Amino acid sequence: MIQRSLRTPMVRFLKEQLEKAGCALGDNFIKAVNCDGKVSGGYMPGLGIVVCSNHMELQDDVNQVVIHELIHAYDECRAANLEWSNCAHHACSEIRAGHLSGDCHYKRELLRGYMKIRGHEQECVRRRVMKSVTANPYCSEAAAKDAMEAVWDVCYNDTKPFDRAP
């Protein structure tokens, strides 16, 4: 499924952009592993991406995780001074990964059919950013919230390497 995800247009685009930015992905950059806890995947700085194969059943879910984590890899590649222990840096990358990967599309589409909730996508991204950043041992809940609010506008509107949010 990881191999298949590498052939989807969005993953191919991100891979190309990483190469252009000088961060070509090695052969085993994306690995399938068994994960404890309710996580679908992760980015390990400098090491690569893991996809939690024991929690994945659908190709779409694998694609989603790969796209999300590749955006983290892209952020680390382009910003030489990115520090994951910095809650604002981490929050910024989560905002971008949540927004640009379309993590919140499915629910947004679903909800749209039943009730028109404005701003649902942003609410969904916020919730997911908080979940990720509070899992960072350097970021308390209050620190994560402050960091997210402080960088929200800049990072939500920063759609690189896309021209606009896909």
CB of 103 to Zn ion, least distance (A): 9
- Please report, as residue ranges, which positions from 40 to 79 form the binding site for Zn ion (by CB under 5 A): none
Candidates 69, 76, 94, 121; catalytic one: 69
Residues with Cβ within 8 Å of 100's Cβ and at least 6 positions away in sequence, in order, are: 67, 71, 159, 162, 165, 166
Q: How far is the CB of 97 from Zn ion (least distance, A)?
A: 5
Nearest distance, CB of residue 114 and Zn ion, angstroms: 28
Closer Cβ to Zn ion, 97 or 147, answer by number: 97
Task: Please identify, using beta-carbon distances, which residue of 27 and 36 lies nearer to Zn ion.
Answer: 36
- Lay out the site mask for Zn ion across 120-139 (x = CB under 5 A, - = otherwise): ------------x-------
CB contact at 8 A, 152 and 133: no
Report the SS3 class of residue 51.
Answer: strand
Q: Is 19 a catalytic residue?
A: no
Query: Toward Zn ion, which CB reaches closer, 76 or 94?
Result: 94
Residue nearest to Zn ion (CB): 97
CB 129 within 8 A of CB 94: yes
- DSSP string across 107-130: HHHHHHHH---TTHHHHHHHHHHH
- At residue 60, what are phi and psi to the nearest 5 degrees? -60, -40
Query: By CB under 5 A, is residue 97 in contact with Zn ion?
Result: yes
Provide the terminal-to-terminal Cα distance of the chain, rounded to the nearest Å: 22
Q: Is 88 left (phi over 0), alpha (psi -120 to 50) or beta?
A: alpha
Residue closer to Zn ion (CB basis): 27 or 39:
39
Write down the least CB distance from residue 40 to Zn ion, Å.
10
Where along the sequence are the contacts to Zn ion (CB under 5 A)?
94, 97, 132
